[in-house]
Amino acid sequence: MKEILRKCHECDKSKVKTININKDKFIYYNGSYYHYNCFIKCKTKEKDNNLSQEELVKLADKMVLNTKELKTVRDSIDRDRLTYWIYENYNISVLPTLFFQKIKQINDGTFSKRINTSISYYDLLQIFIKMKSYLDKVNNKNERNGKKIPIPNRIDYDLAIVINNYDEYLKWKQKQKSENTEKKQIKEEIAIKNNIKINTITSMQRNENDDEINIADILDEVF
């Protein structure tokens, strides 16, 4: 997939973007993006700056964490991930303006009265990815029946299917969350049991010098 880039307010010239969202440590500040080091450099140059270098580093570290939590930033990046995946998956170079308006309305929750919730760019992409095989099968069936849909129209067609399966996606997501919680609980229980067994072994090693204890055999009992 195409790399997601942002323009650094400090070091990038016009029409140049060198911040790689997936690789670089970056900061979003006052409506602009900065490389981590560029942000520190920029703050250092400010006339009213009275922070030490150590304090500036701490500030920058805090700003990195804040940036990751900003909805504006997350939405922007997730929108790019969604559109870049569509470019690649449908082998298309240009998407109509109406498409971007549509997914923004879906993300904002203003797309249709029949949809009483917002569907994030992130969730739209996840559903597209999970339904790719099904969407391809539907399109192949349409073509076999003599209904060849132009790519821009097919994207709208598939988007409608994706939206209609949002409730099923939420059920799947909840199931995954429950399973992950259960797996975490099992791991914690195993860790506790292992700790008990190891403590038992240590105690037995102290008290029974004549008997050789096989730790692997005892730990196997946990499973």
pLDDT digits (tens, 9 = 90+) for 14-63: 999 999 999 999 999 999 999 999 999 999 988 888 889 999 999 999 99
Helix pair angle (121-130, 71-89), 10° resolution: 30
Residue holding tokens 């999970």?
130
In a domain, residue 77? The reply is: no
Task: Determine contact, residues 103/79, Cβ cutoff 8 Å.
Answer: yes
Rounded to whole angstroms, the Cα distance separating 149 from 41 reads 52
Task: Indicate the range of 103-112, 119-128, 183-192 predicted with least confidence.
Answer: 183-192
The answer to whether residue 211 sits within a structural domain is: yes
Model pTM score? 0.77
Residue 64 and residue 102 in one domain: no
Angle at 41 between CA 38 and CA 44, to 5 degrees: 150
Q: Which residues contact 111 (CB under 8 A, 6 or more apart)?
A: 102, 105
For the segment 192-213, the average pLDDT, to the nearest whole number, is 58
The answer as to whether 76 is a domain residue is: no
E-strand ranges in 77-159 read none
Residue 175 counted as domain residue? yes
User: Read out DSSP for 157-194?
Assistant: HHHHHHHHTHHHHHHHHHHHHHHHHHHHHHHHHHHHHH
Whether 12 maps to a domain, the answer reads yes
Band (115; pLDDT cuts 50, 70, 90): confident
141, part of any domain = yes
Looking at the structure, tell me whether residues 192 and 211 fall in a common domain.
Answer: yes
Cα torsion angle, 171, 174, 180, 184, sign:
negative
**Does residue 100 belong to any structural domain of this protein?**
yes
Q: Which domain holds residue 120?
A: 85-164
- 175 shares a domain with 153: no
Does 184 share its domain with 123? no
Q: How many domains does the chain have?
A: 3
Residue 145 in any domain: the answer is yes
Residues 140, 101, single domain; the answer is yes
